[in-house]
């Protein structure tokens, strides 16, 4: 197994040596091939997570609407209590 390479970034312009710049331009996408493939891997399906989030959002909106409807009903019926208790 080879030692990992260390890249040192300096403020010098890569335009000073065009050959180095061109080499780096073609080398970077080749090095990024493996991570890009893993991100686009067909076995990685995020659809269930998306559907779960969508279901939770719709459920919370429905609960807010039900609570709003209850408040409207309670305001129209001033003697109505939720637990039939007298305080």
pLDDT of 72 reads 82
- Give dist(CA 30, CA 26) in Å, integer: 7
DSSP 49-83: HHHHHHHHHHHHHHHHHHHHHHHHHHHH-TT--SS
User: What's the pTM value of the predicted model, to 2 decimals?
Assistant: 0.36
Structure tokens of 79?
A: 């003697």
Q: What is the pLDDT of residue 1?
A: 63
Using one digit for the tens of pLDDT, what is the confidence trace for 2-54? 788 887 777 776 777 888 888 888 887 777 777 666 666 666 677 788 888 88
Nearest alpha-carbon partner for 66 in 78, 74, 56 = 74
Residue closest to 14 by CA, chosen among 27, 33, 5: 27
Q: How confident is the model at residue 83 (pLDDT cuts 50, 70, 90)?
A: low
pLDDT for residue 47: 77
Picking from 43, 14, 42, 12, the residue whose alpha carbon sits closest to that of residue 28 is: 14
């Amino acid at each position: 197994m080879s030692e990992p390479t260390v890249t040192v970034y300096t403020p010098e312009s890569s335009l000073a040596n065009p050959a180095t710049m061109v080499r780096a331009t073609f080398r970077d996408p080749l090095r990024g091939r493996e991570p890009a493939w893993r991100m686009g891997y067909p076995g990685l399906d995020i659809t269930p997570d998306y559907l779960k989030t969508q279901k939770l959002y719709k459920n919370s909106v429905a609960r807010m609407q039900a609570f709003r409807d209850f408040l409207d009903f309670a305001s129209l019926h001033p003697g109505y209590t939720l637990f039939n208790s007298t305080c």
